[in-house]
Amino acid sequence: MQPLAERLRPKTLDDYIGQKHLVGPGAVLRQMIDSGHISSFILWGPPGVGKTTLAQIIAHKLETPFYTLSAVTSGVKEVREVIERARSNRFFSQANPILFIDEIHRFSKSQQDSLLGAVEQGTITLIGATTENPSFEVIRPLLSRCQVYVLKSLEKADLIELMNRAITQDTELKKHHIEVKETNALLRFSGGDARKLLNILELVVQAVGEDEPVEINDEIVTNRLQQNPLAYDKDGEMHYDIISAFIKSIRGSDPDGALYWLARMVEGGEDPAFIARRLVISAAEDIGLANPNALLLANACFDVIMKIGWPEGRIPLAETTVYLATSPKSNSAYLGIDKALSTVKQTGNLPVPLHLRNAPTGLMEELGYGKDYKYAHDFPGHFVQQQYLPDQLIGQVLWNPQENAQEAKLKERMKLLWGDNKKY
């Protein structure tokens, strides 16, 4: 028998739950699909939010040949074979055949290169699905030919709707009298993942005999999952939960916890590049200016991982993990850029002060561009006080140093240079 998630896979956009920003009335993908003409695009989002389902619905709606490849099992040879089949099966009156590539982030550069010509010539319309940031994982020439659409984790209302649909419409679940008394645990363990929610629901129902009533509450769901910790998390989807625990252990300065979650990922066959990339992010976000060397080590670890892979890759990953976990922590740069972005959104495009502007032409010079700019290197200590923010933001402080040895030095230097003009 098919799993519940497969039995309930929607066939039309009207049955599709979530992603209203893409497929709701008047939304960009909905308009494209309704027009009958779609261009190549990549769906980026966490597991279980409907990437594969959306691709299948589009192919069904357009009545066009639909080919599927998995980046895990397919090589350049398989890609070329599918493209050749698509080329030979295409009819002039028909929309381009669709090639759906699941986990496109796992495709090598050569595999992605093999797609370029077919996408550019219109032999196929490419729909890629990825849980990884395409700007890191998809080669630039291919990315430039594809629009990227971001799918979000399902909201509470979406998951409740899905649960009710399963209970009332699925043939197998309708054999039971299911009474839902609490949903907190069900929603928490699902984590915005439709497939997880349906797997958990199926797991709870399977625990009772046919025709027996089923009660769903927080205690039953929690107990059932503790007895079957992997039953609801097929094909490594738990990696989002584990990477979260990994990063939080580093942030919390616990090298033992961080090493444990690293071992869970290594043992589970996680992509080493996925782990290394998160270490780079953690070094910048959580260690930051408290220990700038952390970012250098994390970046070096990423380079090494690309060269050696498994199993030796576990060693530089462990070294970097322990270094980051035991480093002093600061998120002042992270908070600073967020504060700056918030300021930009609130104040709009404030004009650049004239003395900071470039003056490549005579007219610009006549208009005062660059006038009275003070070149810092012409002054003692390579510093001179002058205005660097727009007029409306004079006195605004965006970066606030935190309490650690490195930033204490930076704070002292800023106070020495700026005096009372900046309130550090």
Looking at the fold, whether 405 and 314 belong to one and the same domain comes out as no
Looking at the fold, whether 296 and 213 belong to one and the same domain comes out as no
The tens digit of pLDDT for each residue in 379-400 reads 888 888 888 888 888 888 888 8
Query: Could you tell me if residue 247 is inside a domain?
Result: yes
Query: Could you tell me if residue 166 is inside a domain?
Result: yes
Looking at the fold, whether 44 and 59 belong to one and the same domain comes out as yes
Q: Which CATH number belongs to the domain containing residue 25 in this structure?
A: 3.40.50.300
Looking at the fold, whether 274 and 346 belong to one and the same domain comes out as no
Is pTM beyond 0.75? Reply is no
Looking at the fold, whether 31 and 146 belong to one and the same domain comes out as yes
The tens digit of pLDDT for each residue in 341-389 reads 888 888 888 888 888 787 767 766 777 777 888 888 888 888 888 888 8
Distances (CA, A) of 224 to 105, 106, 172, 206, 230: 34, 33, 19, 10, 11
Q: Which of 299, 326, 353 is the last residue of a domain?
A: 326
Looking at the fold, whether 80 and 117 belong to one and the same domain comes out as yes
The tens digit of pLDDT for each residue in 234-287 reads 344 456 778 888 999 999 888 898 998 898 888 777 788 889 999 999 999 999
| Residue with more model confidence, 227 or 161 | 161
The tens digit of pLDDT for each residue in 327-338 reads 989 999 989 988
Q: Is 266 exposed, middle or buried (0-12, 13-18, 19+ CB in 10 A)?
A: middle
Query: Could you tell me if residue 303 is inside a domain?
Result: yes
Q: Which of 150, 167, 199 is the last residue of a domain?
A: 150
Residue 114: CA atoms inside 13 Å, Cβ hemisphere, count?
Answer: 19
Q: Which CATH number belongs to the domain containing residue 293 in this structure?
A: 1.20.272.10
- Longest distance between any two alpha carbons in the chain, whole Å: 88
- Highest-scoring range by mean pLDDT, 48-62, 93-107, 182-196, 313-327: 313-327
Return the pLDDT at 232. Answer: 40
Looking at the fold, whether 71 and 140 belong to one and the same domain comes out as yes
Of 139, 112, 194, 115, whose CA–CA distance to 161 is shortest?
194
Looking at the fold, whether 137 and 61 belong to one and the same domain comes out as yes
DSSP reduced 3-state for 42: strand
Dihedral angle computed from the Cα positions of residues 165, 20, 244 and 272, in that order, rounded to the nearest 10 degrees: 100
Looking at the fold, whether 198 and 245 belong to one and the same domain comes out as no
> By residue range, what is the domain housing residue 286?
238-326
Looking at the fold, whether 256 and 379 belong to one and the same domain comes out as no
Tokens 């797991």 -> residue: 203
Number of domains in the chain: 4
Q: Which of 150, 169, 192 is the last residue of a domain?
A: 150
Say what percent of the chain tops pLDDT 70: 92
- Which of 36-45, 207-216, 296-305, 405-414 shows the lowest mean pLDDT across its residues? 207-216
